[in-house]
Amino acid sequence: MLNGVYSAISALKAYQRKLGVSANNVSNAQTPGFKMSEASSQDIPPESTYTASGESQIGRGTTIKDITENFSQGSFEPSSSPTDMAIGGDGFFMVSAANGEDYFTRDGQFHFDKNGRLVNASGYVAQGWAIDSITGQPQGSIQDIVLPSFTSSPQGTTTITNIVNLNAGATDHSVGVNGLANAWDGGNANGDYMPDGAYDTQTTTKVYDAVGGTHDITVYFDKNGAGSEWEYIVTTRPQQDQRSAAMGRDLGLLARGTLEFDANGAVSNVTQENNDGGGNWTSQNPATDHTGGHFTVQPDFLGGAGGSTVMTIQLDVGSTHNGALWVNGASSSTQYASPSNTAYSSVDGYGAGDLQSIAITKDGVISGNYSNGQTLGLYQMSMAQFNNPQGLKGVGNNLYSETAASGNAVMGPAGTNGMGSIVSNALEQSNVDIGSEFVKIILIQRGFESNLKVISTEDEMLGSLLDIFS
């Protein structure tokens, strides 16, 4: 007669556990990255009994079969922080504790701590691959994402591009062979290194040395006689010229040369001689003495021992030597009957820069935007996927650890191995459906009450039986 009581009691226990699961879901409805749990039940193996028709079975109640997590996608909520990330699709972020233990999470609330580590709220460090500054590709093994410095290293200039128009109607201001170079006086005590009346036009660009210092490179142009040939000299400030041989009038004088134009005003030939700073000139062969098809100059702004800090900078006027002749690009220097001017000027290289902002792409590449105008790839987030995510063990703080049931983590960047993409400036919200949970709670309540009624009925029946003997 007590079978009904035992069955009802088993149901009460099951409903209590189901209520606990739903209560936990509801309490975490606003927890970023939380995944709801679902409890399923099964019947307890029945016991055998005998009836008029033979052996039969009678049930003994119910029990909780399993409690599983639902890893379906949660909705995204915008965030003002670029280090807040959500995963669109499958996969987990990987974080590491101080003891080296790895954990996995869907909660993408990260920030940089005072040591430059990208950490979650528990202080666990996000994992990823360092980006090679040369190739821009991930390199090495998975490691802590740490910014050891919030500055970007400087890069010395390697190319100066000056696209100029030289007035076809100009006159020769510095008459004579190498008249323009002879007009330069880098040792002038008054700082009048180039007399104003000795040239037609000039263009100045700032270049960067290896430690990010800036220096002026000035190119002067002057008509060479009455034809279509122009002289040019390449100079820098004499007080910044640290070449070992530099002295006297040749301080700051790096090179001299000529530009020749055809009847259409296009460059037809370029010549150049380089100066060691001591008045010794070396003619440059366009077929051999060039880099990238351009003549070069070799300034030294730092004065390193043995010429270790000498730079090689290409001079690009829009024409490139292909080994046989000069070929003009889509934008090249010209000699037209209009005032001399610089149409375009640029240099590569940059100084040191301070980190101003962080950006994260959909494939998890973390880039830094620096005050020197550079955007540099720093790290790529590592993600993990499991053959059986239901086998993961929850350890609190929105973290999971792998188990034998989950299988080993399959690591990779976002968008690979079936893993989703990363959305920056967003957080994945809990996937708990409050409406569904309230319905479950109502059904649990009704089921609990029904089984209490079973117990009450059994109690009344037992009481009636006892009354017979009283």
- Tell me what pLDDT residue 443 has: 93
To which H or E segment does residue 161 belong?
strand 159-165
How far apart CA 188 and CA 465 sit, in angstroms, is 127
With contact defined as beta carbons under 8 Å apart, do 372 and 349 qualify? no
CB atoms inside a 10 Å sphere around CB 196: 7
With contact defined as beta carbons under 8 Å apart, do 225 and 174 qualify? no
To which H or E segment does residue 262 belong?
none
pLDDT tens, N- to C-terminus, the chain (470 residues): 577 888 888 889 999 999 999 999 999 999 999 999 999 889 888 887 777 887 788 888 899 999 989 999 999 999 999 999 999 999 999 999 999 999 999 999 999 999 999 999 999 999 999 999 888 899 999 999 999 788 888 999 999 999 999 999 999 999 999 999 999 999 999 999 999 999 999 999 999 999 999 999 999 999 998 889 999 999 999 999 999 999 999 999 999 999 999 999 999 999 999 999 999 999 999 988 889 999 999 999 999 999 999 999 999 999 999 989 999 999 999 999 999 999 999 999 999 999 999 999 999 999 999 999 999 999 999 999 999 999 999 999 999 999 999 999 999 999 998 999 999 999 999 999 999 999 999 999 999 999 899 888 888 888 887 778 76
How far apart CA 231 and CA 181 sit, in angstroms, is 9
With contact defined as beta carbons under 8 Å apart, do 432 and 28 qualify? yes
How far apart CA 331 and CA 342 sit, in angstroms, is 12
201-208 and 353-360 strand pairing: unpaired
Q: Does domain 159-347 have CATH number 2.60.98.20?
A: yes
- Tell me what pLDDT residue 1 has: 57
How far apart CA 22 and CA 37 sit, in angstroms, is 8
Token couple for 37: 């749990």
SS3 labels along 427-450: EECCCCCHHHHHHHHHHHHHHHHH
- Tell me what pLDDT residue 56 has: 81
353-360 and 365-370 strand pairing: antiparallel
- Tell me what pLDDT residue 95 has: 98
Sequence spans of domains, the chain: 3-72+432-468, 76-152+354-428, 159-347
With contact defined as beta carbons under 8 Å apart, do 429 and 73 qualify? no
Beta strand extents in 313-420 (DSSP E only): 313-316, 319-321, 326-328, 341-347, 353-360, 365-370, 375-381, 383-385, 393-396, 399-401, 410-412
